[in-house]
Amino acid sequence: MGVEALALHGLSIRLGGAQILHDVTLNVPAGSFTCLLGPSGCGKTTLLRSIAGFAPPASGDIRLGARSIADLPPEKRGTAMVFQSYALWPHMTVAGNLTYPLKLRGIVRAERDARAEALLDILGLSGFGARKVGSLSGGQRQRVALGRALIIDPPILLLDEPLSNLDAAIRRNLRGELRRLQQRLGITTIMVTHDQEEALAMADTIVLMRAGRVVQVAAPQDLYARPADLDAGRFLGVDNMLAGRPDDPVAAATLGFRSMDARIHATAPQDALVRHGTVLDCAYTGGGYHLQLQSGAEVISAVSGVPVTPGSQVCVAVPTASLMAFGADQMLLPNGSPPIAETVQ
Amino acid sequence: MALATLARRGAANLLPAVMIGLCAFVVFGPLTNLFLWAFAEKWFFPARYPTEYGFDFWQRVFRPRAGAWTSLFNSVWIALATVGLSMALAVPAGYALARLMLPARAFIMLIFLLPQAFPSLPIFVNIAHMFYGLGLNGTYTGVVLVHSLPGLVYAVWIATAAFGAVDRTMEEAARNLGAGPMRTFRDITLPQAFPGLVAASIFVFLDSIDEFTGTFFVGTPDISTLPILMFNASMGGNYQIASITALILLVPSIGFMLVIERFLKADVLSRIGR
């Protein structure tokens, strides 16, 4: 069918009186890997299900390539979805699951079997064809579910938290495997996840969602360095949010930074955000120490290579490059706003 | 010390043993009696056990003109037709009740239970009265309809549970990969609900094989089933024939127990009435 781009225009969805999606507009380029990222209940799964045809839109349009698919029933859309629970059919064998979509398309048995065989090879499941689905491990089921979706050579692949039911170690392996497979096939892929690490590691583009709206669409590096607002920052692991002061190197209502960028210094360095505080707690985290500091009314998380006695007074500094400046409206301030320290002095 | 422990353990084992023995007696006592009667040639009052055993009455029961064969075939055909009718209604009804978010779902389920909630006698008397008007009395159709009344309760409730136990995402996966709604139902939903539907059919079949009151009011004297034959024999004091008929009725019950163990999954049973 070939790879196709996906476009959503002003998509709104209501379920049982509640507005799940508000006016979502999104362009997914052909062959890209896009992650829908957000906390649970943000509407990311509903968005994916609406693309597959399981959540009828109240308004808006869904276009796959040149054609609108918003009014088509699920079976006519040609999207291939991998469900979070995998949704393999337990009354069929592994090969039966893989070949069912081909059977629906009227492909003869010999070719069905040959294609299933080839796919099982690609998935590293050779010889599993005659097995019952129930006898497979979680990772194997996940591969079969993926294979069943890919066997129809779909224009777009939809993944609903495909790795969330797996052990951490298997998950990390499959992440890379899935990404390589996607790149090799060049298939347009949309994956739903609540795991920011997974999204950062796999996606070309991350769509950050909150409360049924798209908050930010950005490449992983941009999203990580420049979250659109305070909540987005918090969701992406910006664990320090301090009220800005006039003598800070960046002018902002709120300054955000990650604790791994905040280090203890003997003397205050240049070109950095500096705060003084009392050490509340010092915990060993393997590679170093994680500190909690009381600085005025605020608590700061920081890291240190050496242990620090709780109760001692320290100076913590964050390089200006690691700071995120948010305005009074909680939105990220545009880059290059003049550091207030220079203009005041 | 050791003796006291043993005694205590003995007492602890004794109670369950006695309880199991009592249950066994309650269940198997009447069955044993039935069994004895079925093979008793002569058994008169003061004798504790039959004085003569034999197959004389079995021959009498299965004599061509005794009506046992006719009753047996009647019973089986009526039961099969009842299963057919009940399941034909219960499969779509059960699917709708399990899948579609019908507003008054609990209420509809309750309505199906209503015929069981009232004493059956007044209901059957009224049905017989209605059927007279419709010319259905003494017809197979009439008897099948009467048997379907309690049959539908089992069929709809169990079918609803069976369809409810099918994971909806499996249906969605089939739709997603190109199967239309009917194809999905046939290829995905139905095979997975099948054990539950088999169980429902068996319940309906057994209920129908066993049904007496409705058949008595609607079917007799034109249509005789095994329970009717048994009733007539017992009323005539012919315990041998009644017992033999009862034993024949046991055959489907035992078959049922064997099948249900194979087919009915615990997760289907646990969803009944949900």
Q: In this structure, are residues B162 and B87 in contact, taking their beta carbons and an 8 Å threshold?
A: no
Q: Closest by alpha carbon to B271, among B166, B117, B125?
A: B166
Residue B132 pLDDT more than 70? Answer: yes
Q: What is the pLDDT of residue B172?
A: 93
Q: Closest by alpha carbon to B68, among B256, B201, B247?
A: B247
* Structure token pair of residue A281: 């707690």
Query: In B, which residues are within 8 Å of A90 by CB distance?
Result: 192
Residue A343 pLDDT more than 50? Answer: no
Q: In this structure, are residues A160 and B169 in contact, taking their beta carbons and an 8 Å threshold?
A: no
Q: How many CA atoms lie within 13 A of A236 on its CB side?
A: 28
Best of A83, A156, A157, A158 to disrupt the B interface (most B CBs within 10 Å) is A83
Amino acid at A223: L
Residue A341 pLDDT more than 70? Answer: no
pLDDT band at B267 (very low <50, low <70, confident <90, very high): low
Alpha helix (H) ranges present in chain B? 2-38, 56-61, 68-99, 105-117, 120-134, 140-164, 168-176, 181-184, 190-210, 213-218, 226-235, 239-263, 266-269
Which residue segments constitute the domains of chain A, with CATH numbers given? Answer: 6-232 (3.40.50.300), 240-344 (2.40.50.140)
Q: Give the Cα separation of B130 and A263 in Å (integer).
A: 91
- Locate the chain A residue with the closest alpha carbon to B170: A87
B177: nearest CB among A84, A91, A100 = A100
Q: What is the pLDDT of residue B271?
A: 54
End-to-end CA distance of chain A: 64
Q: In this structure, are residues B240 and B37 in contact, taking their beta carbons and an 8 Å threshold?
A: yes
**What is the percentage of chain A residues whose pLDDT exceeds 90?**
49
Look at chain B and count its residues. Answer: 274
Q: Closest by alpha carbon to A340, among A251, A270, A253?
A: A251
- Locate the chain A residue with the closest alpha carbon to B188: A89
Q: In this structure, are residues A151 and A159 in contact, taking their beta carbons and an 8 Å threshold?
A: no
- Locate the chain A residue with the closest alpha carbon to B171: A87
CA distance B155 to chain A (A): 23
Look at strands A205-210 and A33-37 and give their pairing: parallel
CA distance B164 to chain A (A): 15
B192 in reach of chain A (CB within 8 A): yes
Could you read off the pLDDT of A115-138 as tens digits, one per residue? 999 989 888 888 888 888 888 888
End-to-end CA distance of chain B: 53
B112-140 mean pLDDT: 82
Best of B99, B175, B177 to disrupt the A interface (most A CBs within 10 Å) is B177
Q: How many CA atoms lie within 13 A of B57 on its CB side?
A: 22
Q: What is the pLDDT of residue B229?
A: 81
Q: What is the pLDDT of residue A36?
A: 94
Could you read off the pLDDT of A96-117 as tens digits, one per residue? 999 999 999 998 999 999 999 9
B170 in reach of chain A (CB within 8 A): yes
A277-298 mean pLDDT: 91
Residue spans of the domains in chain B: they are 2-57, 64-269
Query: Is domain B64-269 in CATH 1.10.3720.10, yes or no?
Result: yes
User: Distance of CA A252 to CAs A233, A328, A342, Å?
Assistant: 15, 8, 14
- Locate the chain A residue with the closest alpha carbon to B173: A87
A319-333 mean pLDDT: 89
Angle between helices B68-99 and B105-117 (to 10 degrees): 160
Residue with more model confidence, A196 or B245? A196
What ipTM was assigned to the predicted interfaces of this complex?
0.82
B267 in reach of chain A (CB within 8 A): no
B14-39 mean pLDDT: 83
How many Cβ contacts (< 8 angstroms) between chains A and B?
64
